[in-house]
Amino acid sequence: MTKRPDNLDSMVVVPPATVLAVGATGSIGRLVVAEALRQGYAVRALVRDEARAHRVLPPETQLVVGEVTSQEGLAKVANAVDAVVFTLGAGSLRGERAEAVDYGGVRNVLMALGHRKPRIALMTAIGVTKREDPRLGPLGGHDWKRRSERLVRASGCVYTIVRPGWFDYNEPDQQRLVLVQGDTRWASDTSDGVVSRLQVAETLVRSLSTPAAAFRTVELVTERGPAPHDFEALFAPLTADPPGAVDGVLDVDNMLPEKEPARIREQLAALRAAAH
């Protein structure tokens, strides 16, 4: 088990640190890039399509062409970065391509880091621990996102895992961020909670420089009221994930690590070994 730093202030990164954005041209990723630049970070964006990236990302973004589904070349991309923000998503609840993208992309980047320990912010989804739905059947996409969370917790890096509610269904006066834990909102509709894409991006980036966000797994929604400015106060009441745990602190115990496929157990063990 990796010993956690005693000094919370040592767990943060601040501008002009370099942030690697993985999933940079997605609907959240491009907002993460813009927000990180706005806050004064240098931003390196891992992209597949350089021409598209030039169209949708600010010109000061450093573009690095690569494929998250393969480890080839990722060590060079991940070198000399102070933080990594993951906003990957295959866009399928049932899990098509989720193993390769949502899970494999996170695994490949973390393995490429080797012994380096940048700050990590990972976006997954509210309801990620819900494994089956009466209408949709097995939610394989959730399972792969949850496995990606486990990789981050095992990586030895300081991290924040954000599970946002439904994007952009909030009303104009619904800007007050609320962080909850335990992932108990399983309606699979907007009653689980809503949040703007802009505020998801801001929370991911602000978590990098917020000591109280370290080792937290949170669901992110908004309620009526103004947007917060003090992210330390927002995260401070929350409970950290226990050292060595693979799941969030209050998550339901419905996907036992020891019952996982052998290759998944082996990959988690390999990442832990690489972290030491």
Question: What structural domains and CATH numbers belong to the chain?
Answer: 8-274 (3.40.50.720)
- DSSP E strands: which ranges in the chain? 18-22, 42-47, 62-65, 83-86, 119-123, 132-133, 137-138, 159-164, 166-167, 176-180, 194-195, 216-223
For residue 20, name the pLDDT band (cuts at 50, 70, 90): very high
Lowest-confidence pick of 87-91, 109-113, 192-196 = 87-91
Helices (H) and strands (E) in the chain, counts: 8, 12
- Average model confidence (pLDDT) across the chain: 94
Q: What is the pLDDT of residue 274?
A: 82
Q: pLDDT digits over 59-77, tens only?
A: 999 999 999 988 888 988 9
Global confidence as pTM: 0.96
Confidence tier at 136 by pLDDT (50, 70, 90): confident
What percent of the chain stands above pLDDT 70? 97
Taking only the tens place, the pLDDT of each residue in 158-209 is: 999 999 999 999 999 999 999 999 999 999 999 999 999 999 999 999 999 9
Residue 9 has pLDDT above 80, yes or no: no
Strand partners, 83: 19, 119
